[in-house]
């Protein structure tokens, strides 16, 4: 039975990562057809880094992902602190509202935000030309907020509520107590939320498609247009590089969480 479980697990992971294996091999293929490996080459990677248009789109995606993840992390951390201070039904109601964007279909969120931006542009600004970096940033912050809140909330529940009282008894102001006592305890959750927001923003397509403009487009949106015709091999190299960037980021997040869990276990042992 155990052997069958291992075989099944192997088949599941093979199915999940087979597309990336094909893409990785294709990024080194000297031909344009993925079904036939014509020879090993690094020219696809060199072509990608020599293409200014692709680099500009990649830079746009990173600028948007970094900006939205930083804004979502700040706002999400403050929101988590406010939710944690609530009690009873109010907290449950707010947490339910926080979870709705996570289960809401992305196309619904994208169309809703698009209609909202058009309404604001026409009624308040008197213009239909409202889409651009600003609308993309607002949209990405909006769908990233729940991930940050849900990453910080567990750390708030694990933190001893008497720490702030002890810090103020020792002479700290509430603000000093927060930065010197509470913030170090929350850092693992904040960093995990920021990394999650960054990865979600970097590869988002559906919501970005409804809120972008030709003046500021992202890589996933342009890739959608490219895939309607034969994809240039240099994009296989780009996809491979993005996969490994996300992989490194996720490994970093897991390392941070593992270190935090070990630190929590050591604190419990010292408490015992």
Give just the sign of the alpha carbon dihedral 177, 180, 142, 138.
positive
Q: Provide the domain count of the chain.
A: 1
Question: Tokens at residue 216, please?
Answer: 């500021």
- 107 part of a folded domain: yes
- 228 part of a folded domain: yes
**Domain encompassing residue 94:** 64-271
- 266 part of a folded domain: yes
Half-sphere exposure of 251 (CA within 13 A, CB side): 6
**Percentage of the residues of the chain whose pLDDT score is greater than 90:** 13
pLDDT digits (tens, 9 = 90+) for 117-167: 888 887 776 666 788 888 999 999 999 999 999 989 888 887 777 777 777
Tell me, what CATH number does 80's domain have? Answer: 1.10.3720.10
- 4 part of a folded domain: no
User: From CA 116, how far away is CA 129, in angstroms rounded?
Assistant: 13
Q: Which residues pair with 40 in a beta bridge?
A: 29
pLDDT digits (tens, 9 = 90+) for 10-44: 888 888 888 888 888 888 887 777 767 777 888 88
- 160 part of a folded domain: yes
Say which residues have a Cβ less than 8 Å from residue 75's Cβ, sequence separation at least 6. Answer: 141, 145, 148
pLDDT digits (tens, 9 = 90+) for 192-210: 889 889 988 988 888 998 9
Average pLDDT for 209-214: 87
- 29 part of a folded domain: no
């Amino acid at each position: 039975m155990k052997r069958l479980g291992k075989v099944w697990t192997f088949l599941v992971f093979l199915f999940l990562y087979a597309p990336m294996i094909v893409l990785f091999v294709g990024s080194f293929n000297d031909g344009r057809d993925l079904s036939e490996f014509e020879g090993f080459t690094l020219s696809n990677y060199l072509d990608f880094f020599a293409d200014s248009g692709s680099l500009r789109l990649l830079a746009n995606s990173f600028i948007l992902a970094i900006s939205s993840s930083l804004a979502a992390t700040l706002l999400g951390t403050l929101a988590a602190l406010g939710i944690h201070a609530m009690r009873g039904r109010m907290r449950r109601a707010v947490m339910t509202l926080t979870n709705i964007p996570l289960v809401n279909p992305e196309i619904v969120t994208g169309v809703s935000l698009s209609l909202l931006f058009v309404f604001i542009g026409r009624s308040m600004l008197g213009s239909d030309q409202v889409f651009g970096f600003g609308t993309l940033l607002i949209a990405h912050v909006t769908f990233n907020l729940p991930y940050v809140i849900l990453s910080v909330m567990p750390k708030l529940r694990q933190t001893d509520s008497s720490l702030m009282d002890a810090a103020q008894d020792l002479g700290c102001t509430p603000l000093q107590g927060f930065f010197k006592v509470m913030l170090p305890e929350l850092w693992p959750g904040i960093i995990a939320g920021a990394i999650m927001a960054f990865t979600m923003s970097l590869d988002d397509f559906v919501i970005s498609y409804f809120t972008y403009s030709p003046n500021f487009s992202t890589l996933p949106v342009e890739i959608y247009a490219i895939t309607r015709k034969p994809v240039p091999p240099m994009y296989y190299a780009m996809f491979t590089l993005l996969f490994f960037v996300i992989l490194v980021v996720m490994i970093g997040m897991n390392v941070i969480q593992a270190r935090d869990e070990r630190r929590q276990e050591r604190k419990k042992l010292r408490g015992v």
